[in-house]
Amino acid sequence: MFLTDFLDICDPVVVFDEIMKGIDLEKYLRRIENRTGRPRYNPVRILKTILYGFVDGGYASLRELEDRCRYDIRYKYPDGTGERYAEA
C-alpha cells in the first residue's frame, strides 16, 4: 500500500505538498558537493518537512520533527516517502 491510501485528498499535508510542487525551491538552495561519506539528504525534502512542521503546529524543534517523521505518516508524505510502499 502507498501512504497516499491513508490520507484524504483534503488533508492539509496533501494540499501543502501540492502548493510546494508549484514553487521552485531549488533556486533558494545553494549547491553543496558531496565529497565523502554518506549521500546527502535531499535539501528540498528537508525544507518541505521543516515548513510543514511550522504549518502543522507552529514552531517545532528539529528533534520534534525527527520524531514526527518516524511516527506520523503526514510527515512522511512531504519528504517523498509517500511515493514508496507503507511499512506494515
| More confident: 52 or 1 | 52
How far apart are the C-alpha atoms of 3 and 28, rounded to whole Å?
28
Q: How far apart, in whole angstroms, are the C-alpha atoms of residue 87 and residue 69?
A: 13
Confirm if 86 and 73 have CB atoms less than 8 A apart. yes
What pLDDT is stored for residue 78 in this prediction? 67
What are 50-85's pLDDT values in tens digits? 888 888 888 778 898 888 888 887 887 765 655 554
Q: With 70 as the cut, is the pLDDT of residue 29 above it?
A: yes
With a pLDDT cut of 90, the percent of the chain lying above it is 0
